[in-house]
Amino acid sequence: MATGKLIAAVFVASTLGLAGCAVTRDQSTVGQFVDDSAITTQVKARFAESPVVSAMAIKVKTLNGTVQLSGFAKNASEREAAESIARSVANVKDVRNDIVVQP
């Protein structure tokens, strides 16, 4: 019985430790981290589905509902399409488009 309690205590401690590590700078809760991760995943998935946007060339990060796009686009149309796709994802508050068009 003592072994079971020890295992349970270790599990609880490790779970709480992981939850604390999940929140990054400027995120107030684990829930916000999960929401931001879901937004990032949805934007990347839509990029992968798009025939216009290169999901491999454009990076996506989300903080408090603001999506930051970075990387390189082949042309202005790809840059604009990436921003439009990001803005269309639910719960996105703003998009910062730092994508550079390759000359």
Please state, in angstroms and rounded to a whole number, the distance separating the CA atoms of residues 61 and 71. 11
In order of 21, 35, 72, 89, 98, the CA distances from 25 in angstroms are 10, 15, 26, 23, 20
Give the integer Cα–Cα distance in Å for 54 and 81. Answer: 10
- Across 48-55, average pLDDT: 96
Are 93 and 66 contacting, i.e. CB atoms less than 8 angstroms apart? yes
The pLDDT of residue 81 is above 90:
yes
pLDDT category of residue 67 using cuts at 50, 70 and 90: very high
Q: What is the pLDDT of residue 21?
A: 44
**Residue 57 and residue 59: Cα distance in Å, rounded?**
7
3-state secondary structure of 59: strand
Instruction: Write down the domain spans for the chain.
Output: 28-101
Helix 2-22 to helix 30-49 angle (10° resolution) is 60
Mean pLDDT of all residues belonging to the chain: 83
Residue 60 backbone dihedrals phi, psi, to 5 degrees: -130, 130
Predicted TM-score (pTM) of the model is: 0.72
28-101 folds as: Histidine-containing Protein; Chain: A; (3.30.1340)
